[in-house]
Structure 1
C-alpha cells in the first residue's frame, strides 16, 4: 500500500461522521484528547481508585502520626544519608544515624494497641450563659493485661483539655470530672475523646478516637416576665376589630331581634323592660399573635454587649409567649427563628451571628409585615444606633390596629419610654430591667 493511499484513508476517517444522529462533523484535535481521556478513565479508573484507596487506608494513617518536627527529622536524615554516601562525609553519616535512631525510638513509643471503653457524659447539653456546665469521662481498661499510663485529650471548642490516665489493671475504671466555661453564648463542640501516644520529643503522635462529639448549647441569658409584665403581654380576649358579629367574646351593644338570631344571645332583662326581643351584638376578636423582629445588623449596635442584650431580650419575650401558649413568630434578617418550643427558640437564638451587610431594621419591619400579616402585637428589638426616623419608617409598615413596640438595647442606659407616632419606644439598659420597662409601656 502506498503512502498516498494511507494518508487518504486517515483523512477519510477523520472526516467521516461519528455522531449517533448522523450529523456530519470533523473530529477536532480537542475531541481526540477528550476521547483519549475517556479511554484512559475507562481502563485506568478502577486501578487508580484502588491505588488511592490503598494509600488512604494504609499510608494515610502512617503519615498522620508524623508531626511537623518528625517530618523535619525524617527529611534531614534522608538528606544526610545521601550526602554521606555521595561525598563520604562521616559526620553526615553519624548525624543521619542519630536522626534514624531517634525515629526508631519514637516508633517504639507509639506502637501497641490500647483497649479502652470510654464514656463521655455531659450533665446537661443546654445551659444558660453563666451556668455551670459539668461533665465526666469514665475510662475502663477492657484489655486482659495492665496498661501503662497514658493521656486522653478532650477538645472543647477551640481548646483542648488533657487528662492523665494512671496504670490501670484489667477491668479497672478511672473517672475524671470537668467543667466548661459558659461566659458567652455559643454552640460548643465537646469531643471526641481521643487517646494519644507520643514520644518525648513529639516526633510521632498517634491518636485513637473513642467517642462521638457532643454539642453543648450555651443559651442566651433570659429573664422571667411574671407579674405585671406577664399581665401586659397576656391578652386572653384578643384585640377587637371594627367588624360586628352575632357571636363572639367582646360585647358591643344590643339590637332588635331578627329571625334567625341565636336565642341564647337574647338579653331577657332588656326584653322584659322594653317589651320586645333584644339580642346582644359583639365585636369580632382575633387571637393574640405576637411577632418579634430582631435585628442582627451589627452596624445598628454600639458593641457586642448591646447585640447580646438584644438577643436576650427577644428570647425573653419569646419564652413568655410560648409559656402562655400564644401564637408567636420571631424573624431576623437571616430568616425566621423556630418557635415550636422554648428549646427550639433558644437553640436557634444560640446559633445567631451578627452581620454588617444585612438589611436595616426598616427592611426587617417590611419583611415582618409580609411574613406575619395577622400579628396583633409587634416588637422591634434593635440597637441604639437606629434613628428615630428609621423607627418611624418601621412603624409605618405596621398595619393599623396592631400594637407596636420598639426595644432599643443600649447597655448601661437608663430605662425610658417615648412615643413616635403610634410606636412606643422602650430603652433597655440591662436585661433585669425588661419587666420594669414593659410596665412603663402601660403606665
Structure 2
C-alpha cells in the first residue's frame, strides 16, 4: 500500500474502533441499568403509584386563584427568610393557613344518582325548553350541601344542592330560552365541591349529555299553495318505454312485444297488429338546493328565512309522499322523515366557500339527475345573471324554481327565461307565493 493510502486508511480504522467501542460501552451501560429498571417497575412504582395519583388529583383541584395564592405564599416566605422581612413571613403564614383550611372542603366522596330530563327534546325557535335535574343520595350517610352545574351549549346553569339525608332527593326545574336555531348539548350534570374563596374546586360528572334540537320555524303549504308538488307527476322525458303509464303513440307489432299492449281497435281498422308505445315519465322527485355561502345573503336573517322555507317545502313534500333530496353545498341533509329533516336543518350553519349558487346548482344537477323540480334557495344579493347561469346547469326537462329570500321585501313572482323566480320577504307569505308558482 502506498504512503498516501496508509495515511487515509489509518484514520478510518481508528474511527471504526472508536465507534465499536462506543456501542459496546452503551450496551454495557444498558445491561447494568436493566436490573434497576426492573426494580423500579416491580418494586418501587407499585408503592409510590397511589401517592402519585393522589397528588395528581389534588393538584388538579386547585383553581387559578388557588395556584396564585400558593405562588404568593412561597415568594413571601422566601423574601421573609432571605431579607428578614417579618411582614412577608406573616403574609406567608396567613396564606398557608388559608390553604390548609380550604383543603377539607374537597376531601371525601359523594355518591349521587342523577337524572336529567327534558320535557321535549325538540322545540321550535322561540319556544321555551323545560327540563329537570333530580339528585338522589345513594350513599349510606348524609351528604353535605354542594353546588350542581349544568352546561347548556356554551352557557352554564348552577343550582344549590342542600344537605341530603340517606335516600332523599332534590329536584330543580330549569328553562332554556331558544332565540336561534341550533343543536344544544345539555349536560352532563356535575357536582362541584370547593371552598368559599374558590381556591379549590372538585367536579364529578354524573351522567351523559343530551341533545336539544331547536328547529327552524315552518309554515303549512296546504291547498292550492302545494299545487306545484302535484304538478310533478307526468313530466315527460325523451326516453320511450313499453310499460309506463304515459301513452305516446302506436306502432306495428314486432316479435317479443307484450300482447297486453295490443291496441285492438287500431288493429281492426288497419289490418295490422298495432301496439301501444309509452313515454317514460319522471318520478315525482323534489330537489331543494340551499346555499350556505354567506356571499349569497345580505345578512344572517335572510339565511334563517331560507332555512325556514327549506323546511316548509320539505315537510309538505314528505306529507304528500314525494321523494325529496336536500343539498347544501357539500352537505346532504337527511330527509327520510320530517323529524330527521328538521333535525338536520337545526344544525346547519353558513360556511365560507367558493361554491356559490351556481356551483350548488351544478352539483344538484349531477347528484339528482332524475329530479322533477329543483328549488334553489338563496338571498337578495344574487343577481339575475347568476340565477340564469345556475338554472342552465340543471338538466333539461327539469322545472327550476328560484326562491329569493329577501327579508322585508314585497312578495313577487317573475320569470327569467324558463325559470320561475319567487321573492319572499316573510315566511308567512310562502303559501301564497307557492300558489302563484303553481298557477
* TM-score > 0.5, shorter chain as reference: yes
Q: Secondary structure at the match of 2:218?
A: coil
Superposed CA deviations along residues 176-211 of structure 1, whole A, max 9, x for unmatched, are: 111111110111111111111121211111111111
In the alignment, what sits opposite 2:59?
A: 63
CA contact (8 A) 2:288 2:377 kept: yes
Aligned position for 1:403: 399
1:8 deviates by 6.7
Q: Does 1:306 align with 2:302?
A: yes
Residue 7 of structure 1 and its aligned partner are, at CA, apart by 7.5
Segments of structure 2 that go 5 or more residues without pairing to the other structure are: 1-8
Q: State the 1:241 CA deviation.
A: 2.2
Which residue, out of 430, 435, 438, partners 1:434? 430
Partner of 1:114, secondary structure, is coil
Deviation at 1:269? 6.1
Among 294, 317, 322, the residue aligned to 1:321: 317
Q: Is the 8 A contact 1:290 1:321 kept in 2?
A: yes
Correspondence for 2:101 among 102, 105, 114: 105
**CA distance in structure 1 between the aligned counterparts of 2:168 and 2:349, rounded to whole angstroms:** 45
Please, which of 92, 107, 113 is the counterpart of residue 88 of structure 2? 92
User: 1:359 aligned to 2:355?
Assistant: yes
Measure, in 1, the Cα distance between the counterparts of 2:274 and 2:15: 105
> Is 1:344 aligned to 2:348, yes or no?
no
SS in 2 for 1:412: coil
- The verdict on how the C-alpha distance between 1:82 and 1:380 changes in structure 2, with shifts beyond 3 A counting, is same
1:117 and 2:121 equivalent?
no
Q: Residue 191 of structure 2 is aligned with which of 188, 192, 195?
A: 195
Change in Cα spacing, 1:166 to 1:334, as seen in structure 2 (3 Å) is: same
After TM superposition, give the deviation of residue 342 of structure 1 in Å: 2.9
Decide which moves more: 88-97 or 272-281: 272-281
> Which of 330, 341, 347 pairs up with 1:334?
330
1:216 paired residue number: 212
Q: Give the corresponding residue for 1:11.
A: 15
Aligned counterparts, 1:186-335, within 5 A: 186-235=182-231, 237-253=233-249, 261-267=257-263, 279-335=275-331
Question: Per-residue deviation at 1:278?
Answer: 5.6
Structure 2: how far apart are the matches of 1:272 and 1:326?
A: 41
Go from structure 1 to structure 2 and tell me whether the alpha carbon gap of 1:244 and 1:371 turns closer, same or farther (over 3 Å shift): closer
Deviation for aligned residue 1:420: 0.3
Structure-2 separation of matches of 1:275 and 1:293? 53
Gapped runs of 5+ residues in structure 1? 17-26
Q: 1:258 to 1:357 in 2, by over 3 A?
A: closer
CA contact under 8 A between 2:183 and 2:211: conserved in structure 1? yes
1:169 CA drift (Å): 1.3
Match of 1:148 in 2: 144
TM-score, length-scaled by structure 2: 0.85
Deviates further, 53-62 or 108-117: 53-62
Give the length in aligned residue pairs.
Answer: 419
Partner of 2:236, secondary structure, is: strand
Shift of 1:64: 2.4
- Paired with 1:129 and 1:391, the residues of 2 have a C-alpha distance of 30
In structure 2, distance between residues paired with 1:146 and 1:341: 49
SS at match of 1:98: helix
Instruction: Report whether the alignment pairs 1:375 with 2:375.
Output: no
Residues 339-398 of structure 1, C-alpha deviation per residue, up to 9 Å, x if partnerless?
A: 333333223222222123331111111111122222121111011100000001011112
**Equivalent residue in structure 2 for 1:137, among 127, 133, 136:** 133
1:127-183 CA distance string (max 9 Å, x none): 221233111111111122222222101111111111112222110111111111111
Of residues 416, 422, 433, the one that matches 1:420 is: 416
Give me the CA root mean square deviation: 3.3
Check 1:243–1:111 CA distance in 2 against 1; reply closer, same or farther (3 A cut): closer
